[in-house]
């Protein structure tokens, strides 16, 4: 069973970066790491999850989990993938043809797994099994550093289900610390950590102090894409629709791409399959 919340010390040797929803866009990450001169000996890269599905190189992205400098939280796509393969992990056999129609995982971009299916043996390739094992160890929350330097990495949102718009709409550091000591997150919270789009839907944008939630450290998240990173109630959403930029069918695909966020400098870099230059911005 995976550790639900992981804590990591501050990085005193190098820099910390957060990358948005990769969705198989491995080569865009390569471009961004070169741009910032990422040092694999000293720097760390945190992912907000959704490494797989929709884009061109899903398994490649999963293998990043084998790197000591890379850490990711579980996204809803990893969660759907794990659910899909649960019977396979128990029985060791799988009939993909039985599952492929109207399946939640397949309908949301999971059909790429078919290329790793060995129909004659009714199982996945050893290479794929290696990737699948890596999924089992992904936490829901990463807590990095302490005090003023503390930040979190999650997939979607720390929104409360019954939120008070004027008061506290999100869970706070104190809640995370309590869940950490119990190693247990209430199921309604885990559901929102994987799926919620309440904060990023724009309904908080007219709130006078809409960018900061007192009591909650900066919380990097993904899951809801926009052309640029957005900050709402201490959540910085770094999903800028990387997989959309790999599609030539979508008219506005050029506006989207993969974002790499330099935590200490509060600066972001965005690379797209459709553009040669990298766009930058600051918070
Ligand atoms: Mn997602």
> What is 26-45 written as a DSSP string?
HHHHHHHHHHTT--TTT-EE
Q: What is the pLDDT of residue 163?
A: 73
Residues annotated as catalytic are 77
Distance in Å, CA 171 to ligand 1 centroid: 19
**Distance (Å, whole) CA 61 – CA 42:** 21
Strands, DSSP E only, in 192-256? 218-221, 230-232, 235-237
Give the distance (Å) from ligand 1 centre to CA of residue 216.
22
Residues linked to residue 236 through DSSP beta bridges, in sequence order: 220, 231
Q: Provide the pLDDT for residue 208.
A: 59
- How far apart are the C-alpha atoms of 1 and 274, rounded to whole Å? 40
- Ligand 1 center–CA 271 separation, angstroms: 19
Adjacency order of strands within the sheet including 258-262 = 70-72, 44-47, 16-19, 258-262, 267-271, 279-282
- Report how far ligand 1's centroid is from the alpha carbon of 194 (Å): 7
What was the pLDDT predicted at 167?
73
pTM of the model: 0.95
Q: On the CB side of 227, how many CA atoms lie within 13 Å of its CA? A: 5
Say if strands 279-282 and 5-8 run parallel, antiparallel, or are unpaired.
Answer: unpaired
The confidence score (pLDDT) of residue 247 equals 76
Q: State residue 107's pLDDT score.
A: 87
Q: What is the pLDDT of residue 280?
A: 96
Integer Cα distance of 47 and 73 in angstroms: 6
Domains of the chain: 5-75+138-282 (3.60.21.10), 76-136 (no CATH)
CA 79 to centroid of ligand 1, rounded, Å:
10
What DSSP state is assigned to residue 17? E
Q: Which residues contact 224 (CB under 8 A, 6 or more apart)?
A: 156, 197, 200, 201, 237, 239
pLDDT for position 260: 98
Residue where the block lists tokens 């491995």:
26
**Are the CB atoms for 11 and 230 separated by under 8 Å?**
no
pLDDT of amino acid 95 = 87
Would you give per-residue pLDDT tens digits along the chain (283 residues)? 578 999 999 999 999 999 999 999 999 999 999 999 999 999 999 999 999 999 889 999 999 999 999 999 999 999 999 999 998 988 889 888 777 677 889 889 999 999 999 999 999 999 999 999 999 999 999 999 999 999 999 999 999 987 766 678 899 999 999 999 999 999 999 999 999 999 998 777 666 568 899 999 999 999 999 999 999 999 999 999 999 988 776 666 778 999 999 999 999 999 999 888 999 999 8
Enter the DSSP assignment of 63. H
Q: What is the pLDDT of residue 250?
A: 63
d(CA 202, CA 223): 14
267 is written with which tokens? 């600066």
Q: Residue 248 and residue 115: Cα distance in Å, rounded?
A: 22
Which candidate, 5, 3, 19, places its Cα nearest to that of 222?
A: 19
């Amino acid at each position: 069973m995976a550790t639900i919340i992981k804590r990591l010390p501050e990085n005193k040797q190098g820099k910390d970066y957060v990358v948005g929803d990769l969705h198989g866009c491995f080569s865009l990450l390569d471009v961004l790491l070169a741009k910032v001169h990422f040092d694999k000996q000293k720097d760390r890269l945190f992912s907000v999850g959704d490494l797989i599905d929709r884009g061109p190189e899903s398994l490649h992205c999963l293998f990043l989990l084998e790197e000591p400098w890379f850490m990711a939280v579980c996204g809803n796509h990893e969660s759907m993938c794990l659910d899909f393969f649960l019977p396979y992990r128990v029985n060791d056999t799988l009939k993909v043809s039985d599952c492929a129609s109207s399946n939640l995982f397949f309908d949301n971009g999971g059909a790429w797994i078919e290329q790793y299916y060995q129909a004659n043996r009714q199982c996945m390739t050893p290479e794929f099994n290696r990737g699948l094992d890596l999924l089992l160890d992904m936490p829901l929350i990463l807590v990095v550093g302490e005090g003023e330097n503390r930040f979190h990495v999650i997939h979607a949102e720390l929104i409360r289900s019954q939120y008070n718009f004027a008061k506290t709409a999100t869970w706070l550091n104190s809640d995370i610390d309590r869940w950490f000591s119990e190693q247990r997150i209430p199921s309604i919270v885990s559901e929102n950590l994987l799926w919620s789009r309440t904060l990023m839907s724009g309904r908080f944008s007219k709130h006078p102090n809409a960018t900061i939630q007192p009591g909650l450290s900066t919380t990097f998240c993904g899951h809801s894409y926009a052309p640029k990173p957005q900050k709402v109630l201490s959540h910085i959403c770094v999903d800028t629709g990387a997989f959309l930029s790999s599609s030539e069918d979508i008219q506005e695909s050029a506006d989207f791409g993969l974002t790499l966020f330099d935590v200490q400098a509060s600066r972001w870099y965005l690379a797209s399959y459709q553009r040669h230059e990298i766009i930058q911005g600051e918070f």
